């Protein structure tokens, strides 16, 4: 289970419910603390699955969920938001929902109920929240196969808020030919208390709609079950308002009055549409009147902002699942056939580069040719001692692959053969297409290509020029290679 949280009090309501519910526990509860700072969360209470807390340092819901599933190792990842309350039979139903799903089903959505006040009509905000109950593929309660998330690089972190990032993921997963289904487990999603300006703030989502269209084409709303809403009317009302101002400034009073009347009529109609189904008390009517004047221009502004910002909507690549590093000449300075742990000396920035990957949930490993063993120059024990020293200095590594053979032994592991890259991927259950190999010579990137992985060459002064030129991807330093990987450019 992955629960991203910004430390809202509702988190503790959720944890209490998860601790008290009977039924089979998931392997682990990964709590992703998405606050920039603050005291460590105290999730522990009897009855929870084993809890692990990881921190993003603040990156938004998409990045938080990505760190959560990358940290997890189970076949299924059940996402729950930190403002929901699962039913008491949630664990049992989750297990039933996921049991025996055919392999082409990549996700199972839970069912959502939104309690509304019984004694009065719901406010605009309450009705909006109630829409979650009929929304498709919202991550308030959605379980995905980990492999399906890995195949598409997880959530697109260019969606900066909790809006559309879940629809986008669902569409990309379904683009791979997989299906999403609805399960039989239920959560309650209470209406969050908000101030009167919330309907104004959520207009920022218009920019995210532009990105959705860029990424998924004009048909995206039908596929994502996302109705268009009132943006066309908002644009017309905004245009009328701007025209009224323009005509007034150019001293055309009759045209200005006509445009102002059109603006007023459009704004009043919008306000009434929001007031009419609601409680119609003074607070709600005032809020609706004021915000109905603000929303059309803001919606238009955010939409235009999105058009500029998302001129190019490139496919989301996300992070690889595994980055493998050559050892000598890449992570540490190359002393040929070194058997002395004292001569294991990391290159500048190696530890930081590795830690930056680990912090994002990307696993790291080493693939190292050590033909000095076959040549009789060093012993296997010396290689082990040097690898232990490497781990002390730069570890932990998720996998260490060593080839002790010589060039003429005909083994499948010595780079440029793909054996070590394949073995590392197999050991960690990683698709080689989601694996990057970083090395300082042609054999490293050739091994990557032969395994179906992506190679990045970080040349040293002794790297042969034709190998540098032949490398499909290069970076000047180890740190810059990791920069590229973290930017999705791999």
Catalytic residue ranges: 326, 328
Instruction: Return the structure tokens found at 225.
Output: 């079950």
413 binds Zn ion (CB under 5 A): yes
Asked if residues 384 and 372 have their Cβ atoms less than 8 Å apart, the reply is no
Q: Is the Cβ of residue 164 or residue 405 nearer to Zn ion in the bound state?
A: 405
Residue 117 backbone dihedrals phi, psi, to 5 degrees: -60, 140
Residue 228 backbone dihedrals phi, psi, to 5 degrees: -65, -30
Q: Is the Cβ of residue 85 or residue 324 nearer to Mg ion in the bound state?
A: 324
**Piece in contact with Mg ion (CB under 5 A), picked from 196-204, 329-337, 345-353, 381-389:** 329-337
Q: Is the Cβ of residue 63 or residue 415 nearer to Zn ion in the bound state?
A: 415
Asked if residues 281 and 450 have their Cβ atoms less than 8 Å apart, the reply is no
Q: How far is CA 395 from the centre of its chain?
A: 25
Map residues 365-404 to x or -, x wherever contact with Zn ion holds by CB under 5 A. Answer: --------------------------------------x-
| Contact with Mg ion (CB under 5 A) among 33, 166, 168, 328 | 328
Name the one residue in this structure whose structure tokens are 């294991």.
344
Q: Is the Cβ of residue 82 or residue 440 nearer to Mg ion in the bound state?
A: 440
Please, what is the minimum distance in Å from the beta carbon of residue 78 to Mg ion? Answer: 42
Residue 184 backbone dihedrals phi, psi, to 5 degrees: -120, 10
326 binds Mg ion (CB under 5 A): yes
Give CA torsion, residues 223, 228, 229, 230, to 10 deg: 180
CA distance 73 to 63: 18
Burial (CB count <10 Å: 0-12, 13-18, 19+), residue 467:
middle
CA–CA distances in Å: residue 144 to residues 51, 402, 405 = 19, 34, 42
259 binds Zn ion (CB under 5 A): no
| Contact with Mg ion (CB under 5 A) among 266, 296, 329, 339 | 329
329: partner contacted, choices Mg ion, Zn ion, none (Cβ within 5-8 A by kind) = Mg ion
CA-nearest of 210, 92, 102, 217 to 148 is 102
CA distance 170 to 178: 10
Q: Is the Cβ of residue 71 or residue 391 nearer to Mg ion in the bound state?
A: 391
Kindly report the number of other CB atoms within 10 A of residue 86's CB atom: 20
403: partner contacted, choices Zn ion, Mg ion, none (Cβ within 5-8 A by kind) = Zn ion
Q: Scanning residues 149 to 178, which ones bind Zn ion (CB under 5 A)?
A: none
Please, what is the minimum distance in Å from the beta carbon of residue 302 to Mg ion? Answer: 50
CA distance 2 to 138: 14
| H-only helix segments in 310-375 | 350-359
Please, what is the minimum distance in Å from the beta carbon of residue 411 to Zn ion? Answer: 3
Please, what is the minimum distance in Å from the beta carbon of residue 339 to Zn ion? Answer: 18
165: partner contacted, choices Zn ion, Mg ion, none (Cβ within 5-8 A by kind) = none
424 binds Zn ion (CB under 5 A): no
| Contact with Zn ion (CB under 5 A) among 414, 415, 422, 434 | 414
Number of residues that bind Zn ion (CB under 5 A): 5
Q: Which residues bind Mg ion (CB under 5 A)?
A: 326, 328-329, 440
Contacts with Zn ion by CB under 5 A lie at 403, 405, 411, 413-414
């Amino acid at each position: 289970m992955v629960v991203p949280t910004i430390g809202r009090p509702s988190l503790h309501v959720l944890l209490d419910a998860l601790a008290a519910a009977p039924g089979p526990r998931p392997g682990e509860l990964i709590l992703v603390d998405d606050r920039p700072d603050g005291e460590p969360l105290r999730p522990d209470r009897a009855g929870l699955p084993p809890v692990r807390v990881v921190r993003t340092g603040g990156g938004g819901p998409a990045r938080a969920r990505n760190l959560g599933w990358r940290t997890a190792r189970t076949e299924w990842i059940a996402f729950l938001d930190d403002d929901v309350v699962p039913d008491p039979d949630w664990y049992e139903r989750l297990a039933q929902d996921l049991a025996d799903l055919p392999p082409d089903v990549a996700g199972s959505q839970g069912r959502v109920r939104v309690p509304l006040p019984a004694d009065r009509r719901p406010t605009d905000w309450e009705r909006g929240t109630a829409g979650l109950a009929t929304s498709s593929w919202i991550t308030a309660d959605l379980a995905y196969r980990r492999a399906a998330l890995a195949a598409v690089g997880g959530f697109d972190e260019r969606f900066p808020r909790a809006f559309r990032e879940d629809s986008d993921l669902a569409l990309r997963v379904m683009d791979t030919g997989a299906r999403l289904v609805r399960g039989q487990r239920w959560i309650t999603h209470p209406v969050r208390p908000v101030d009167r300006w919330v309907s104004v703030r959520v207009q920022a989502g218009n920019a995210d709609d532009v990105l959705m269209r860029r990424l998924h084409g004009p048909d995206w709303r039908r596929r994502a079950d996302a109705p268009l809403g009132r943006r066309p009317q908002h644009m017309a009302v905004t245009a009328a308002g701007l025209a009224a101002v323009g005509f007034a400034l150019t001293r055309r009073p009759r045209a200005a009055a006509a445009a102002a009347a059109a603006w007023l009529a459009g704004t009043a109609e919008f306000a009434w549409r929001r007031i009419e189904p609601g409680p119609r008390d003074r607070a709600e009517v005032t809020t609706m009147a004021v915000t109905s004047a603000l929303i059309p221009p803001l919606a238009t502004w955010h939409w235009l902002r999105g058009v500029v910002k998302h001129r190019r909507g490139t496919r989301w690549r996300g992070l690889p699942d595994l980055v493998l590093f050559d050892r000598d000449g890449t992570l540490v300075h190359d002393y040929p056939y070194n058997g002395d742990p004292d001569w294991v000396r990391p290159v500048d920035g190696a530890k930081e580069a590795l830690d930056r990957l680990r912090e994002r949930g990307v696993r790291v490993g080493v693939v190292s040719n050590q033909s000095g063993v076959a040549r009789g120059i060093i012993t296997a024990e010396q290689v082990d001692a040097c690898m232990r020293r490497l781990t002390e200095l730069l570890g932990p590594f998720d996998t260490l692959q060593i080839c002790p053979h010589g060039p003429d032994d005909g083994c499948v592991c010595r780079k440029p053969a793909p054996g070590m890259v394949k073995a590392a991927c197999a050991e960690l259950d990683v698709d080689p297409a989601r694996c990057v190999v970083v090395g300082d010579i042609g054999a490293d990137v050739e091994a990557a290509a032969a395994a179906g992985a992506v190679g990045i060459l970080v040349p040293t002064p002794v790297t042969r020029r034709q190998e540098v030129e032949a490398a499909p991807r290069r970076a000047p330093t180890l740190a810059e290679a990791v920069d590229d990987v973290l930017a999705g450019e791999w």
